[in-house]
């Protein structure tokens, strides 16, 4: 998904391209994996945008609702990313370090079986592995 792509999608859903919304999208597009709510806040501040909490919350909710961004809760903190290349995450429970991992083939095969067995139309999945990174494990 490119920036233009996303703008078109927002317009199609009848949304406006506010400066805050546009800054959040550009920030997430510059990352290839999850970033925290705090990262988003500091990026906005750097661009002299200081919306109140409820505005940011509303913007993020709009983007999540229209499937433009994905939200993950990790240890009570919200993290966001733009779904482009399909991937999963390794999450360290101690330092909250997130590592992007690829392991798709196995799951696609598994989900076909699950769908059949449960008579369920699967449209997607999300998988996170929790544990400790080498630094925290030591």
Give the interface segment with Zn ion, choosing from 46-54, 60-68, 112-120, 127-135 (CB under 5 A).
127-135
Does residue number 107 form part of the binding site for Zn ion (CB under 5 A)?
A: yes
Distance, in Å, from the CA atom of 78 to the CA atom of 82, rounded to the nearest integer, reads 14
CB of 111 to Zn ion, least distance (A): 8
**Smallest gap, in angstroms, from Cβ of residue 112 to Zn ion?**
13
Alpha-carbon gap, residue 45 to 30, rounded angstroms: 16
Long-range CB contacts (< 8 A, 24+ apart) of 37-45?
A: 37/77, 37/78, 37/79, 37/80, 38/77, 40/80, 44/20
Q: Which residues pair with 91 in a beta bridge?
A: 98, 130
111: helix, strand or coil: helix
- Residues 1-60 close enough to bind Zn ion by CB under 5 A: 33-34
| Minimum distance of Zn ion from residue 54's CB (angstroms) | 26
CB of 16 to Zn ion, least distance (A): 27
Give the count of residues interacting with Zn ion (CB under 5 A).
12
Please report, as ranges, the residues that interact with Zn ion according to CB under 5 A. 33-34, 81, 92, 94-95, 97, 100, 104, 107, 133, 136
């Amino acid at each position: 998904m490119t920036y233009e792509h996303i703008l078109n999608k927002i317009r199609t859903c009848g949304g406006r391209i506010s400066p805050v919304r546009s800054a959040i999208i550009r920030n997430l597009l510059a990352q290839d994996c999850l970033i925290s709510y705090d990262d988003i806040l500091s990026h906005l501040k750097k661009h002299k945008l200081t919306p109140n909490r409820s505005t940011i919350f509303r913007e993020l909710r709009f983007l999540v609702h229209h499937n433009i961004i994905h939200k993950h809760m990790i240890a009570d903190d919200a993290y966001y990313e733009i779904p482009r290349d399909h991937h999963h995450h390794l999450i360290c429970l101690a330092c909250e370090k997130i590592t992007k991992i690829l392991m798709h083939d196995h799951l696609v095969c598994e989900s076909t079986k699950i769908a059949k067995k449960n008579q369920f139309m699967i449209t997607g999945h999300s998988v996170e592995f929790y544990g400790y990174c080498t630094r925290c494990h030591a």
